[in-house]
Amino acid sequence: MITKSLTDRWIPLSELGLNQTAQVMELDGDEGCRHRVEEMGLRAGAAIQMLRCDAPHIIAIDGRRVSFRFSDCVQVWVKPYKGLGTMHSDER
């Protein structure tokens, strides 16, 4: 469960800071790439937390850790939660 409220602006997932939490808002790009990203759990409405900012990025989503490399074929837009935000241990 996320403990902070949402900000008003969307940013690319690649700009999310270490341990910062956000809600996935939209995926832009090639349909095939969007489908693969959605299969990983990165879909509109999902709550995520950035666990590692270096390539490959590691994000917490749906109770698991996912390794993710940003590419030109898809852009993931997120809406950060105010403050750093935290996820409860049962969601990491």
Distance set, CA 6 to CA 1, 13, 35, 41, 67 (Å): 13, 15, 26, 20, 24
Contacts of residue 89, Cβ cutoff 8 Å, sequence gap at least 6: none
Q: What is the mean pLDDT of the chain?
A: 84
Instruction: Give the pLDDT score at 68.
Output: 82
Please tell me whether the overall predicted TM-score, pTM, comes out greater than 0.95 for this model.
no
Residue 52 pairs in a beta bridge with 58
d(CA 21, CA 33): 23
Domains and CATH numbers, the chain: 13-84 (2.30.30.90)
Q: How confident is the model at residue 61 (pLDDT cuts 50, 70, 90)?
A: very high
